[in-house]
């Protein structure tokens, strides 16, 4: 028997039953909890306590925790901007979106764990998806190539950013000493001279700067590749 597809976005939101209470207020509180404590820190009980309401009353607005996460996840997409490609050009529009997507994920690291797990059917996510299709259409792609260009860009952003999110989480919890870490990596790479040379480059002292430069290098390369496909 096939499983039914459900989403909080496929039904009309219920009206507030308590003065001053609304779905928007609940989502804002959920976002605060998620940013402070991550996915593991969000529960209907904690959210109810934060709102001075019983957890049971929250189920009037959402059927379960996944529906609440769908609502919160869509707010992350609201932070992403896609400029008009007719005004700034498709490459600039794609670059602004890519950087905005990366920054939104770094601001809300819990969102990285929801990719592919929950449907992105909210109005903000759909708005971004629609604008992305338009920018690649303006670029000159057509048919399925529009979708392929879309997935290429998002796969690059996700692929570069998700490990960064995981690394930031590990550093925050473990509080590694950077000099001790470098010494450990240098010892592990003792038999690999090319890697050792890289360990002693000056830019290695600022890993955040290196990650930002790596992201920019890769993004430009991806856009160059897409542009070459158009030229071909």
- What is the Cα–Cα distance from 161 to 24, expressed in whole angstroms? 28
For residues 107-139, one letter each, b for 16 or more C-beta atoms within 10 angstroms of the residue's C-beta and e for the rest, the string is ebbbbbbbeeebbbebebbeebbebbebbbbeb
Annotated domain spans of the chain: 8-73, 78-231
Q: Is 118 helix (H, G, I), strand (E, B) or coil?
A: coil
Asked if domains 8-73 and 78-231 share a fold, the reply is: no
Residues of the chain with pLDDT under 70: 1-3, 16-21, 55, 172-176, 178, 199-206
Q: Read off the DSSP letter of residue 116.
A: T
CATH fold for domain 78-231: Tetracycline Repressor; domain 2 (1.10.357)
Q: What is the pLDDT of residue 73?
A: 96
What is the Rg, in whole angstroms, of the alpha carbon atoms belonging to the chain? 21
| Model pTM score | 0.86
Q: What is the pLDDT of residue 203?
A: 47
Q: What is the pLDDT of residue 60?
A: 77
Give the burial class of 200: count Cβ atoms within 10 A of its Cβ; 0-12 exposed, 13-18 middle, 19 or more buried.
Answer: exposed
CATH number of 8-73: 1.10.10.60
Per-state percent for the chain, helix, strand, coil, to nearest 5 = 70, 0, 30
């Amino acid at each position: 028997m096939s499983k039914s597809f459900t989403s909080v976005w496929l039904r009309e939101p219920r009206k507030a039953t308590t003065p001053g209470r609304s779905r928007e207020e609940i989502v804002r509180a959920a976002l605060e909890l998620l940013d402070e404590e991550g996915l593991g820190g969000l529960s209907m009980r904690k959210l109810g306590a934060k709102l001075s309401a019983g957890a049971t009353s929250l189920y009037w607005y959402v059927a379960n925790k996944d529906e609440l996460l769908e609502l919160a996840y869509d707010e992350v997409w609201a932070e992403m901007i896609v400029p008009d490609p007719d005004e700034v050009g498709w490459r600039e529009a794609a670059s602004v979106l890519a950087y905005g997507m990366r920054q939104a994920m770094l601001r809300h690291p819990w969102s990285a764990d929801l990719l592919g797990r929950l449907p992105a059917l909210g109005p903000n996510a759909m708005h971004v998806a629609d604008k992305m299709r338009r920018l690649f259409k303006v670029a000159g792609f057509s048919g399925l190539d529009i979708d392929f260009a879309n997935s290429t860009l998002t796969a690059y952003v996700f692929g570069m950013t998700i490990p960064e999110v995981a690394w930031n989480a590990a550093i925050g919890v473990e509080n590694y000493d950077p000099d001790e870490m470098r010494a450990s990596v240098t010892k592990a790479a003792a038999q690999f001279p090319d890697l050792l040379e890289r360990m002693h480059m000056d830019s290695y002292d600022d890993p955040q700067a290196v990650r930002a430069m790596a992201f920019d290098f890769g993004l430009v390369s991806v856009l160059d590749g897409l542009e070459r496909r158009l030229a071909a």
